[in-house]
Structure formats: C-alpha cells, structure tokens
C-alpha cells in the first residue's frame, strides 16, 4: 500500500510539473519577453495579468499550491534518489543528475524571485518594468537570475522528457530519442526568450 501511495505521489508530482507549472513558466516567460519592446509594452502585459479576475485565488490554486507540492516532493526525491545507471545510458544518467541539481537551484531561485516581486507587491509595491530594472541593476543579481532561469527551463524541458516516459507516451527507444531532440530545442528556445527578457531590463 505504501508503495502504491508513493507511486501515486510521484505520478502527481510529474503531472503538476507539466500542468500547470510548466504552462505557467511558458506564460511567464512570454509576458516577460514583452520587456524587449520597452517599458510600456511590458507594463501593459504585466498589468493585463494583474487585472485578471480572482487573480490571487488563481495564483494560489493554480500556481503556488501545485508548485509547493512539486518542490517539497522534488527536494525529497533529489536527496533520496539512487543512481540511474541501471536503467539508462551515460547521457540519460547525467540528465537524471542534472534534473535533481537544477530542481534545487530552481527552488531557491523561485523563493527569492517571489520575495522580490510578489511579496513586495503585497506590501504595496507595483510589479512593473522599473521594479525589475531596479532588481537587475546589480550585476550579481543578473547572473543569479540567468542561472536560475536556465535551471528552471532545463528542469522543465528535461522533466517533460521524463513525463512522456513515465506516462507511457514515449515507450520505444526511437520515440525517446525524438523526444530528446524536441525537449532540447524547447530548452534552447525558452532560454533565449527568458535571457532576452532579463537583458532587456538591464
């Protein structure tokens, strides 16, 4: 019974990493990318997201609670998982390890980013172009955000590969090889979108 519960917990962990967390990551990167068109464009896009009805309820139910579950179980997995050498080859074993490492980095990055933005917004600050430009006026913070962004995007893209295997979408070696290329391209595209946005605030 305990094994069945753990299997269900891990399945839910995998699912939440894609829906809704992965979709939110993509949406967040797209909104941030409006900064490449200037302050007014970003503020308009961010303002639209802030103006959604029941925005705090939606953030809690669709983003923060799934993210909390995914993060807590993910950290447990990261520090208790054994080697993957028996199941996959050298490359996949490296991806397995990097998935755990980037998960921890992403967790730290998200906590700090939420503190700098959502927590400050709750205290009365306005989440806009000037806020992000002020945060990224520090070169060390730029480096931190780039590392955090790349970790989050890698964790999502590689996690998407694992999700497809776990849920029986890619069963054959050929389908898994194709999935490797697709998720690799996704990583490159989302990294470009995210880093372009970060540099637009600098």
CATH 1.20.1300.10 for domain 2-201 = yes
Q: How many CB atoms lie within 10 A of CB 84?
A: 15
pLDDT of residue 1: 46
* pLDDT exceeds 60 at position 181: yes
Per-residue model confidence as pLDDT tens digits over 111-168: 999 999 988 888 888 999 999 999 999 999 999 999 999 999 999 999 999 999 999 9
Nearest to 160 by CA among 171, 169, 149: 169
pLDDT of residue 184: 98
Q: Where is pLDDT greater, at 6 or 148? A: 148
Q: Where are the domains of the chain?
A: 2-201
The pLDDT mean for the chain works out to 93
Residues 6+ apart with CB under 8 A from 136: 142, 145, 198, 201, 202
* pLDDT exceeds 90 at position 52: no
State the pTM of this model. Answer: 0.94
Q: What share of the chain is helix, strand, coil (3-state, %, to 5)?
A: 85, 0, 15
């Amino acid at each position: 019974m305990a094994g069945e519960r753990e299997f269900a917990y891990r399945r839910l962990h995998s699912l939440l990493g894609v829906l809704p967390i992965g979709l939110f990551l993509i949406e967040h990167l797209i909104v941030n990318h409006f900064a490449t068109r200037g302050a007014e464009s970003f503020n308009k896009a961010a303002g639209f997201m802030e103006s959604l009805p029941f925005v705090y309820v939606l953030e809690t139910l669709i983003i923060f609670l799934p993210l909390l579950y995914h993060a807590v179980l993910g950290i447990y997995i990261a520090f208790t998982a054994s080697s993957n050498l028996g199941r996959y080859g050298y490359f996949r074993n490296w991806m397995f390890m990097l998935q755990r490492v980037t998960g921890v980095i992403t967790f730290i990055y998200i906590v700090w980013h939420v503190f700098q933005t959502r927590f400050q917004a709750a205290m009365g600050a306005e989440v806009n172009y000037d806020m992000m430009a002020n945060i990224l006026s520090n070169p060390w913070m730029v480096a931190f955000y780039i590392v955090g962004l790349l970790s989050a995007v890698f964790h999502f893209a590689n996690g998407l590969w694992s999700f497809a295997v776990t849920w029986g979408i890619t069963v054959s070696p050929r389908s898994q090889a194709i999935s490797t290329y697709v998720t690799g391209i996704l990583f490159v595209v989302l990294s470009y979108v995210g880093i372009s946005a970060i540099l637009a605030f600098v």
